[in-house]
Structure 1
Amino acid sequence: MPGTTPGARAMAIPVYKALPRLIRNTHQSLVDIANWSGGAVVRLGLGVSSAYLVTDPAHVQQVLQEKADIYPRGDDTALWRSVRRLVGDGILAEGETWAASRRTLGPLFRTTRIGPLVDTMAEAIATSVDELEVAAAAGTPIDVGSELSRIVSSAIMRVFFADRIDIEAALRIMAAQEVIVTAMGPRLLAPGVPWWIRLPGDRRFIAAVQTIDDILLPVLHEALQRPGDSDDVLSTLARARTSDGAPLGLKQMRDDLVSMVAVTTETSYVVLTWLWPVLANNPEVAGRLFAEVDHVIGDGPVRAENLRDLTYTRMVLDELLRLYPAGWILPRRAAEADVLGGVRIKKGASIILSPYATHRMSALWGETAEVFDPERFAPGRDEGRHRYAYYPFGGGRHRCLGEHLFALEAVLVVATFLSRFRFRLDDPAIPGTRVAASLRPARPVEMVLTRKAHAAA
C-alpha cells in the first residue's frame, strides 16, 4: 500500500473523472479504484460533496469496530436516509434505540434458537420447490429471482410469523421490497440531494413502504392482543417485555420486524440469484456441487442432520458471498475529525466501505481475485487472512443478526433445489450489476429446469 504521513491528504480522484466513471459502471469502478490505490484511502469527488473510499481490511476494521463511535451510519447518508424511511427506528438505528432492539432481537437469532427451526424451514422450502415441477415438466423458463423470492419468503414467513401471514401477503411484501430496493438507485447516485427534492423512484418507494405497513400492522395488532405460545419471532416479540416490564410498543415491533424481514429475505434470494449463471460458467464447480448434494441428500428430503455433511455447498456459498455480497456498500459518516490510514478525515465527511471492492482486490485475493474458486474457503485456507478481507455481513457491533439464518436457509434452498432439478440458462453469460440498495443482476436470470432423474449426471 502506498505510504502516507499521519494526517496527510488522501489520494484523490477529481469529480470530472470520478463521477462519470461511477455512474457508468459503479461496482467495477470501485474495484478498479481499490486496486489502483493498493488499499489506500481515496477521496472521490462526487460533485456537491466528496467521499472517502475505504477498502483496506485494517482500515475497515477501524471504521466498523475499533472506532465505531466515530463512524456511525448517519441518517444523512443517502443509503441510510432511505433505509430509515422504510424501517424507522430499531435494529438499523444507532445509540440506545439500536441497543434496545439488539437486546430484544439478538437472542432470537442465536444458533441455539435458529437450529431447532431448520426442519420447519426445510419443509416450507420443499413445499415451495414442489411448485416448480409444473414448469419443469412443460419446459417453461422460470425467472430465477422471482421464484427464489417466493421460496425464501415461504421459509422466512414461517419462522417469523407462523401462519399469521399467508403466502399471497408474503409475496406482496417481497414485491414491495423489490420496488424499494431498486427505487433507491437514483438516491445512491445522488447522495447529496435532500429528500424534499423528489427523484425518480421516490413515489414508488413511498407507496411500497405503505403497502408493507398495510399488511403488517393489522397482524402486529392482533399479535399484541393474543400473543399465543408459538415459538415464531412475532409471537416471541409480542410476549417480550422491556427492562421496566412493559410490553414492546407497536412501533418498535413494526420497525424491528420490517428490518429483519427485509434483511433475511433480501440477502438470501438476491445472493442465490447469482448462483446459477456462476455454476453455468464453472462446470467443474457445478459438477462437484451436484455430486455432493446427490451423495448427501439423494432424492431428499433435506433435514437438519444433512447440513454438516454439505461442506462443499457451504464453500460455494461463501465464495458466492465474496464475489456477490448483497450489501455491496456500507456508508458511514465521521462524527468527529479523525486520522484513518494516515489520512486526515474531517468531521462530517462521508466514508464509503464496499465489501464488493475489498472482496475483489488482487492485493488480498491474488491475481485471480475475480475468478470463482470455492477452494478459497476450504478448511484451513483462511489462515493469515485478515478478518475484514471478507465481511459480507458487515462487522463490529452492527454485524448482521441474520447471518446464521442465511447460512442455514441458503444451504437448504440449494440442496433442496439440486436434489430435484438440473437447469439450463437461456443466457449463460454472467449478468452485469445494477445500482440498487443490494447487489442485483442488471437483467433477469431465466432458466429451464429438468428433473434430476432425466438430467445428465
Structure 2
Amino acid sequence: MPSNALPPGPRGSLLGGSLRDFSTHRLDFFVRVAREYGDLASFRFGPRRLFLASHPDLIEQVLVTDAKHYIKHFGARMYKPVLGNGLVTSEGDFWLRQRRLSQPAFLKARVLSYAPVMSDLTRAMLARWHPGQHINVHEEFSRLTSAIALKTLFGLDDAGDREEFVASLREAFDLLSARFGDLVRTPLWVPTPRNRRTTRAIAHLYRVVDGFIAQGRARKEPGDDLLSRLVAARDDDGSQMTDTQLREEAMTLYLAGHETTALTLTWSWYLLSTHPAAEARLAEEWARVLGGRAPAPDDLPHLPYTDAVITEAMRVYPPVYLIGREATCDLELGGYRVKKGTTIFMSQWVSHRDPRYFGPDPDAFRPERWLDGLAKRIPKYAYYPFGGGPRVCIGNTFALMEAAILLATVGQRYRFTLDPNAVIETSPQITLLPTYGIPATLALR
C-alpha cells in the first residue's frame, strides 16, 4: 500500500508555499529541492500540492507506464487561450485523433524534403552578415528558425508578415507566462490592462492564421507546406480538421518548430564560444566531411561530433526545462500516494545535471561524453529533451535535422566571439531563454 504521508520537501511560507522561490529562482529551486529532498519531493504553490520527480524510473512511470492516468498540468493549460486544443494541450480521444491526423506530415521522408528550405534561408541570412558585425545570437537564430517554420508550415515568404506574426505571438506568450507566478489569477475576460493586451495579441494571431488557412483551402493543388498536408489529412472515417482545429495545430507546431530549435542553436553557439577546443574539433569535422558545402540530410550520419555538440547543448541548456502532469485519479509513485489532482513536475534541468549519470562535474560542457555510447548506458529518462511516452514531441526529427544543418552551414562560414561585457543569464519561461540575449561579434572562419 502506498504511504499516505507526503514526500519530503520545503515547507515554504504559510500563504504562498514555495511560489516565491519558484518565481524568482526557478532553476535553482528545482535543483535544491531534488538534491536536498531526494528523487521524489513535494512542495506547495499556495493551496496547490506538487511533487517533483527526478529519478528516471519515476519519470518513466509518469510519462509512459501510467500515462493514461495523467493529463497536462495547470501551467500548460494556461496557454490554451493561444494554443487551444492543439497537440500540446488537448487530451484523450481528441488528442489521439489530432496526433493521428498530424503524424503523416512528420514522416521521415517528408521531414527530409524540408532540408533545402532550411539551407536556402540560412544562406540568405549569411548573405546579410559581414565580418566584424555585432549581433545578438538569439535574435538572429530566432528570426531564422521563425522564417523556416513559417515557410515549411504556411508556405509564407513575406518578411513583413513574419515579423508581425512573431511579435504578436511573443507578446501573447510573455503576458501569459507572467500569469504563472500570480497567486491569484484574474480571468482573461476581466478587462484589466494586461488582459486587454493579451486578448488583443491573441485576436491578431487568430486573424493572421485564419487567413493562412483560408488560402490553403482555396488552393486547387495542395502545397508542400505542413498546413497544406493538414488541410488534406483525412481520418479513418473520412473526416477532416475544422478551421479551428487547424488554427490550433498550426499555432502549436509553429511554437514547437521555431522556439526550441532557435534556443538549441543559441545555447550551442554560446557554449562553443566559451569552449574553443570543442569548436576547433567541430570545425575540423565540417572541413573533412563537408569541405565548405552546405550539409544534406545524407551527410548527418557522418557528423557524429556535430550531433554530440547538439545533444550536449540540449543537456546543459534544455530548451524545455520543465514538464508536468496532473493525476486524474489516485495513483502510486515512489511508494507514496498521489491524490487525484496532484501535479507531478519533471525537470530536464535537474535530470540532465544528475551526477549519477553524467559524472562528478555534470554542469561541464563536454560533447565527447556522447561519443562512447553514453546514451545506451544511462536510463532512458535521464536525458529527455523532447519529453517522452505517447506525447513525445512530434517534431523532434525535424528539430534535430534543422539544428544540425543550420549549425554546420553557419559554422563553416563564421565563428562567434562573445562580447567581453556580456551578461549571460537564463530566463525560464515556457522555454529556457537567455535573459539579455547572447551578444557576439562575427569573424570569418
**TM-score interval (norm. to shorter):** over 0.9
Q: Are the aligned partners of 1:228 and 1:235 in contact in 2 as well (CA < 8 Å)?
A: no
Partners of 1:202 and 1:373 lie apart in 2 by 44
Choose 315-324 or 277-286, whichever is displaced more: 277-286
For residue 108 of structure 1, what is the aligned residue in structure 2?
105
Superposed CA offset, 1:238-278 (max 9, x none): 22223332443111111111111110101111222112221
Comparing 90-99 and 173-182, the one that deviates more: 173-182
Deviation at 1:430, TM superposition (A): 7.0
Please name the residue that 1:304 is paired with.
297
Residue matched to 2:78:
82
Q: Give 1:72's aligned amino acid.
A: I
Corresponding residue SS for 2:364: coil
Distance 1:81 1:278 in 2: 33
Q: 1:444 aligns with which of 431, 437, 440?
A: 437
Gap change, CA 1:205 and 1:427, over 3 Å in 2: farther
Aligned amino acid, residue 266 of structure 1: E
2:9–2:37 CA contact under 8 A, matched in 1: no
Letter of the 2:146 counterpart: S
CA distance in 1 between partners of 2:248 and 2:282 (Å): 38
Q: Would the alpha carbon gap of residues 180 and 305 (structure 1) be closer, same or farther in structure 2, given more than 3 Å must change?
A: same
Q: Distance in 1 between matches of 2:332 and 2:267?
A: 37
Q: Once the two structures are superposed, what CA deviation does each residue of 1:2-47 show, in whole Å capped at 9, x if it has no partner?
A: xx975543112112373443333111221122122332x1111222
Q: Is the 8 A contact 1:34 1:358 kept in 2?
A: no
Q: Match of 1:316?
A: 309
List per-residue Cα deviations over 1:359-417 (Å, max 9, x = no partner). 11223322211111112221422233110001110111110001000110001111111
Native 8 Å contact 1:329 1:352 kept in 2: yes
Structure 2 SS opposite 1:42: strand
Distance (Å, rounded) in 2 between the aligned partners of 1:85 and 1:242: 26
Contact 2:49 2:343 in 1 (8 A): yes
- The separation in 2 between residues aligned to 1:154 and 1:82, in whole angstroms, is 27
In structure 2, do the counterparts of structure 1 residues 295 and 207 end up closer, same or farther at CA, with 3 Å as the change threshold?
farther
SS of the equivalent of 1:11 reads: coil
Match of 1:455 in 2: none
Q: Does 2:173 align with 1:181?
A: yes
- For the pair 1:132 / 2:124, whether they are aligned, the reply is no
**1:424 is matched with which residue?**
417
Residues 131-167 of structure 1: CA distance to partner in whole angstroms, max 9, x if unpaired?
223xx3xx331121221112112222222223x4522
Distance 1:200 1:399, change over 3 A: farther
Give the equivalent residue in structure 1 for 2:346.
Answer: 353
Kindly provide the amino acid, as one letter, of the partner of residue 41 in structure 2.
V
Structure 2 distance, partners of 1:438, 1:202, is 22
Deviation of 1:338 (Å): 1.2
For the aligned residue pairs, the C-alpha RMSD in angstroms reads 2.3
TM-score with structure 1 setting the length: 0.90
Q: Which amino acid aligns with 1:119?
A: P
What does the per-residue CA deviation read over 1:286-334, in whole Å, with 9 as the maximum and x for residues that have no partner? 2111222232233323333322222101100001111111111112111
- Could you tell which deviates more after superposition, 5-14 or 144-153? 5-14
- 1:82 counterpart letter in structure 2: M
Q: Which residue type is aligned with residue 68 of structure 1?
A: A
For structure 1, list consecutive stretches of 5 or more residues without a partner in the other structure.
453-457
One of 191, 200, 206 as aligned partner of 1:207: 200
> Could you tell me the TM-score, scaled by structure 2's length?
0.92
User: CA distance change for structure 1 residues 19 and 234 in 2, over 3 Å: closer, same or farther?
Assistant: closer
* Structure 2 segments unaligned to the other structure (5+ residues): none
Moved more, 420-429 or 435-444: 420-429
CA distance, structure 1, for counterparts of residue 68 and residue 421 of structure 2: 45
What secondary structure sits across from 1:120 in the alignment? Answer: helix
Residues in 2 aligned to 1:441 and 1:201: alpha-carbon distance in whole angstroms: 24
- Which amino acid is the alignment partner of residue 33 of structure 1? V
Structure 1 ranges of 4+ moved more than 6 A:
197-200
Q: Do the aligned partners of 2:289 and 2:303 also contact (CA within 8 Å) in 1?
A: yes
Q: 2:144 aligns with which of 147, 151, 163?
A: 151
Which residue of 89, 93, 96 maps to 1:99?
96
Matches within 5 A, 1:213-292: 213-226=206-219, 228-292=221-285
Question: Which has the larger displacement, 302-311 or 331-340?
Answer: 302-311
Verify the 8 A CA contact 1:331 1:353 in the aligned structure 2: yes
Change (3 A) 1:178 1:10: same
Secondary structure of 1:382 counterpart: helix
Matches within 5 A, 1:372-391: 372-391=365-384
Letter in 2 for 1:30: F
Aligned identity (percent) is 27
Q: Give distance in 2, aligned partners of 1:191 and 1:292.
A: 51
1:48-59 equivalent positions in 2, closer than 5 A: 48-59=47-58
Amino acid at match of 2:115: V
Question: Aligned partner of 1:188: which letter?
Answer: F
How many residue pairs match? The answer is 440
Return closer, same or farther for 1:142/1:251 CA change in 2, 3 Å cut-off: same
